[in-house]
A and B are shown apart, each in its own frame.
Chain A
Amino acid sequence: AQTVTQSQPEMSVQEAETVTLSCTYDTSESNYYLFWYKQPPSRQMILVIRQEAYKQQNATENRFSVNFQKAAKSFSLKISDSQLGDTAMYFCAFMKRGSQGNLIFGKGTKLSVKP
């Protein structure tokens, strides 16, 4: 069975600075996807970034980038130039490639961006 672990229940960062959220996972699968989702106070889950396990290159989306270490089963999210609107719960998630789409979520990290 796959598990996803987020060891930081809460984090805070000053506006315009950089913050890194940690995520580790455990799986015996070789083909899978990893995701970071954002859940703002409005509660709708928003996809932040996606990584395909077979790609060595780390995914980036504007201010968001990941550090994907497949051997270490680590998938951290770096947010650069943090903005007040980045305040939210961030969930790391795993999906086996070829599955119906079952996402396995970590427990989340509450990020607060302070002015």
Chain B
Amino acid sequence: GAVVSQHPSRVICKSGTSVKIECRSLDFQATTMFWYRQFPKQSLMLMATSNEGSKATYEQGVEKDKFLINHASLTLSTLTVTSAHPEDSSFYICSAKGLAGMSNTGELFFGEGSRLTVL
């Protein structure tokens, strides 16, 4: 299957700093990428949908200025948590949808996830 890589897998930062998480599709071009947040022992909640070359679409309740998403190329989307606070500590997961042939199957490919801890 297709490979999606996230980096870093773990990050610890001080309150008030910004953290960038990268999501890369390694062997396919991803027209659309999704960012999820997962709290401990809970399901994945969609935060935003990112399309290459256009602004991300955020889900209700997700602060656009807090969670900056950039999808500058067909293989890379980034999520920047700005002015992080302890309540932003969570597991962030990206997924990617490929171009025409791949997307027809409905399958998404997930990254390994990034655990953010804000002190």
Contacts and interface: CB of A to CB of B under 8 A. Distances in A.
A107 B112 contact: no
B117 to A, nearest CB: 14
A13 interface: no
Contacts of A44: 110-113
Q: Which of A33, A45, A47, A102 has the most CB of B within 10 A?
A: A45
Interface residues of A, number: 23
Contacts of B32: 100-101
Contacts, number: 57
Interface in B18-76: 32, 34, 42-44, 46, 49, 51
B13 interface: no
B93 A45 contact: yes
Interface residues of B, number: 23
B103 interface: yes
B105 A101 contact: no
B34 to A, nearest CB: 7
Interface of B: 1, 32, 34, 42-44, 46, 49, 51, 91, 93, 95, 97, 103, 105-108, 110-113, 115
